[in-house]
Amino acid sequence: MTKGIKLNVENISLVLREKERNSTLLDNVSLEICHGRVRALLGPSGSGKSTLLYTLNRLREISEGKIFLDNTETRMLNVLELRRRVGLVMQKALFFAGTVSDNILYGPRIQGKELPDPDHYLELVGLSSDFADRDPNTLSGGQQQRVSIARALANNPEVLLLDEPTSALDAQASEHLENVVAKLCRERQLTVVWVTHDLQQARRIAQDVTLLYHGKVLEQGEAADFFRQPSTEEGKAYLEGRLGGVD
């Protein structure tokens, strides 16, 4: 394990046993996610991108292999601590009952910690403090996702996992969110793993990419190299929109 690697995924598999039959969601996946960089997880629907994301903060248990965070196997860490260090923003912005501020402070509150100023986290995602007392369900899609990011940031994570956060947003709101994340990476040295379907978005945000297909890694490396000259036929097919989804 080299220095600069934040998350190291070593030969992980995830097999589910459903009604007498096994289905393999992840098959011998390995990748290294570097500190302070954005890695895009690409692949058609059902390729295992979200499943892989959920294994990184242990919301899903792997069947085989190991995942290391800063050289410590994640299974050796307290799982609640791991989830604070590796924050997650889901595809659909969901909120607990209460105001934007209540939602942002959820993480610190359940730990019984002294509550930080929610305005600080709103500012980090480019929202004014006027939003603090609003009902999050009345906000626009883009604002809701930014509140979701602020809520994850209130745990002071080192890694941020984003599960297609812009899939329901228009182009302008998506770009705004991309800029927010890019700024967080730059200023807070945050490591980001971003699941996306959108190749243009991956081009804009990611320094590294991993292409998954049927739960396997097809190709990975620097984003610039991948987009210029994919090293596999499947990679080329994916960029040309010829690699079909599983479901």
Partner 1 sequence: MTYLALGLSLGFVGLAAIVSRYQELGLEKDLAIGVIRAFIQLTIVGYILSYVFAAQNSLYIFLMIMLMIIVAGRNASKRGKGISQAQRIVLMGIAFSEGISLLLLLGLRIIPATAQYIIPLSGMIIGNSMVAAGVTLNRLNSEFRLRRGEVELALSLGATSKQAALPVIQSAVKAGMIPTVDSMKTVGLVQLPGMMTGQILAGADPVQAVRYQIMVMFLISGASAITSLIVVLLGYRCFFTSHAQLVLGDS
Query: Which residues of this chain interact with partner 1, rule CB under 8 A?
Result: 16, 57-61, 79-81, 83-84, 87-88, 90, 92, 94, 96-97, 106-107, 110-111, 151-152, 155
Nearer of residues 70 and 234 to partner 1, judged by Cβ: 70
Task: Please give the Cα distance from 45 to 197 (Å, whole number).
Answer: 8
Q: How far is the CB of 102 from partner 1 (least distance, A)?
A: 13
Task: Please give the Cα distance from 20 to 185 (Å, whole number).
Answer: 44
DSSP letters of 199-224?
HHHHHHH-SEEEEEETTEEEEEEEHH
Q: How far is the CB of 194 from partner 1 (least distance, A)?
A: 16
Nearer of residues 108 and 126 to partner 1, judged by Cβ: 108
Give residue for tokens 């039959």.
21
Nearer of residues 155 and 210 to partner 1, judged by Cβ: 155
- 3-state SS assignment for residue 100: helix
Nearer of residues 81 and 225 to partner 1, judged by Cβ: 81
Task: Please give the Cα distance from 136 to 38 (Å, whole number).
Answer: 27
Q: How far is the CB of 86 from partner 1 (least distance, A)?
A: 9
Q: How far is the CB of 110 from partner 1 (least distance, A)?
A: 5
State CA 224 to chain mean position distance.
20
